[in-house]
Amino acid sequence: MRHHPIISAAEAIRPHLSTLLGEHAESVKTAVEALLNQAKQGQEIESELLDLLGKYPATSAWINKKLAEENSLSKGITLSYNELPGERGPVSGAKYYKCPSCDYRWTKILDWQTPPNCPEDGSALVEDN
Ligand SMILES: [Zn+2]
């Protein structure tokens, strides 16, 4: 049996159907199981599964989340990423410097950094905190 992501998602959702669907759970569960059986026999039922589980907001949301997780796992992508320092807002402990003669600004991110002179006019930068 091929492991299409929607097939694994449908297998994974089965125990949650009664919580997700309440009174609709039994009929959906029966339909899901029938489709999974057809999949075991090599039939292409992925779109039927998606139609079935996409009918209800609760199952649709659950499947989407599951597929997104599988997708990121299989590609080795993590959802969080490291932002570059200074890219978005101040880094804690950063010091800001400005040129007294023009609008040049420079941010000190690491302790060992020495403020440069202004590249425009050569003035020594002053702290601007
Ligand atoms: Zn300057």
| pTM, entire model | 0.53
pLDDT at position 72: 67
Domain range for 88 is 82-129
How many structural domains comprise the chain?
A: 2
**CB 32, CB 52: distance < 8 Å:** yes
Residues with CB under 5 A from ligand 1 (ion): 99, 101-102, 104, 118, 120-121, 123
- HSE-CB of 90 using CA atoms within 13 angstroms: 11
> Using alpha carbons only, what angle is made at residue 25 by residues 28 and 31, rounded to the nearest 5 degrees?
15
Q: Does position 96 have pLDDT exceeding 60, yes or no?
A: yes
- 3-state secondary structure at position 10: helix
Q: What is the DSSP string of 61-102?
A: HHHHHHHHHHHHHHHT--S--PPPTTTSSPPTT-EEEE-SSS
Q: Are residues 96 and 117 in the same domain?
A: yes
Same domain, 53 and 30: yes
Ligand 1 centroid – CA 85 distance (Å): 24
